[in-house]
Amino acid sequence: MSNKSIIVTAGIIRKNNKILIAQRKKDSWLEPSKWEFPGGKVENSENLEDCLIREIKEELDIDISVSKLFMKHSHVYSKDNKKIPITLMTYIAYWNKGKVKNIDCQSSRWIQYNELLNFDFAEADKKIVKELLENNKQSEFKEGK
């Protein structure tokens, strides 16, 4: 695998002051059974917001709207003596419609912000958790949709 960073989107999907998290499948190639903010790899010339909307529909069968970029950060995974650099583009998004189905994940949950530390998140998502908890203290996410 090349050293070029893989662009990945993730959504902090809100519904009634809760956020959606998903658990990777037990047989996932990287960090099986870890929790994450759902999303996925950007395809070819796809824009980031469209990627997130597509991935959420494919993996969880819900419709979302993307609000704004929350944070961008890089992480390097190591697997089988390979380095896998990713750039994670994390967006604030809102649930529009649909019942969550665990199509491409082991489990999913709508949780309160104060529950984030109760879950074992994937390494790349831990930075998002930290930022979310810091921002939530500042009431940035209290507008309640």
Task: Give the pLDDT band (50/70/90) at residue 45.
Answer: confident
Q: Residue 138 falls within a domain, yes or no?
A: no
Rounded CA separation 53/63 (Å): 7
Q: Which residue has the tokens 């665990």?
A: 102
Task: Tell me the mean pLDDT in the region 27-34.
Answer: 92
Reading the block at residue 10, the tokens are 């993730």
The count of residues in the chain is 145
Q: Residue 63 falls within a domain, yes or no?
A: yes
Domain membership of residue 66 as a residue range = 6-124
Q: What is the pTM of this model?
A: 0.90
Is the torsion defined by CA of 111, 112, 116, 119 positive or negative? Answer: negative
Q: Residue 135 falls within a domain, yes or no?
A: no
| Per-residue pLDDT reduced to its tens digit, 59-115 | 999 999 999 999 999 999 888 888 999 999 999 999 999 999 999 999 999 999 999
Q: Residue 134 falls within a domain, yes or no?
A: no
Q: Residue 136 falls within a domain, yes or no?
A: no
Q: Residue 26 falls within a domain, yes or no?
A: yes
- Position 73 scores a pLDDT of 96
Cβ burial, residue 142 (10 Å; 0-12/13-18/19+)? exposed
Tally of structural domains, the chain = 1
Q: Which residue has the tokens 């831990």?
A: 126
Q: Residue 140 falls within a domain, yes or no?
A: no
Reading the block at residue 53, the tokens are 């909307």
CATH number at residue 99: 3.90.79.10
- Position 29 scores a pLDDT of 85
Q: Residue 61 falls within a domain, yes or no?
A: yes
Q: Which residue has the tokens 């209290």?
A: 142
Compare 17 and 20 and report the one with higher pLDDT: 20
CA 1 to chain centre: 23
Share of the chain above pLDDT 70, in %: 92
- Position 138 scores a pLDDT of 53
